[in-house]
Amino acid sequence: MALGTGDLSFYYPLVWPTVTGLTTAIGGGIDTGNSYLFATTGSFPTGQSNLPGAGSETMYAKIFVRHEGVSGETLSNPMLYISNSDISDQLTIAPDPYWTGGHAAQTGQAANRLTIPGSLATGDFVNYLASSPMDLSTLSGNTVTIDSGESIGIWIKRSIPAGLSAGKTNTFNLILRGEV
């Protein structure tokens, strides 16, 4: 059998700024009442992302991937990567370190979008693309499967270089693949 339509969903965290400001806290646990549709367009404020000629800026966002369990299948050997983006060179991702096999609270939080989450270091963020995806199957020393109702918290870091010209979009996809 295979995962079906509606088996996997993306969600915002409980603490999510509702305005484009950069000084509000971000992160916490999963907000199952506030889902993304397909692309992660709302992760970073567009007004801050496309300022031509501005100085460099690093921003953080958190999202969750949740197995909704429509098919009843378990996802084994999960891999996650960034896809379909003209800003992939600016994006790196890291799993929420509070995740230990899908069963922990995953409540990692950052003081604001400009501050690295206290539970992570700069070296934890890697540019995972389709050619070299993040292997979620061995996080925290555990063999990981994603069962119905479980989720993974993912931190996204966007490093915008100084003097960037306008015209880049603010859209990217996170792809989760695995075996059933």
Q: How far apart are CA 129 and CA 19, in angstroms?
A: 29
Summary count for the chain: helices (H), strands (E): 1, 10
**SS3 call for 47:** helix
Domain presence at residue 82:
yes
pLDDT score, position 102: 47
Q: Evaluate whether residue 52 is within a structural domain.
A: yes
How would you write the pLDDT of the chain (180 residues) with one tens digit per residue? 566 677 888 888 888 776 556 678 888 888 888 887 644 455 665 545 455 556 788 888 888 888 887 877 888 888 888 887 777 888 888 888 655 444 455 677 888 888 898 878 888 888 888 788 888 776 655 567 788 888 888 888 988 877 766 555 667 788 888 887
Residue 117 resides in a domain: yes
Task: Check residue 114 and report its DSSP letter.
Answer: T
Unique residue bearing structure tokens 């404020």:
45
Domain total of the chain:
1
The boundaries of the domain holding residue 28 are 8-179
In a domain, 103, yes or no: yes
Amino acid 19: pLDDT = 58
Task: Please report the DSSP string for 57-91 in residue order.
Answer: EEEEEEEEEEE--SS-PPEEEEEEEEES-TTGGGE
pLDDT at 101: 46
In a domain, 63, yes or no: yes
The pLDDT value recorded for residue 18 is: 62
Inside any domain, residue 3: no
**In a domain? residue 27:** yes
- 87 domain residue, yes or no: yes
Is-contact 27 159, C-beta < 8 A? Answer: no
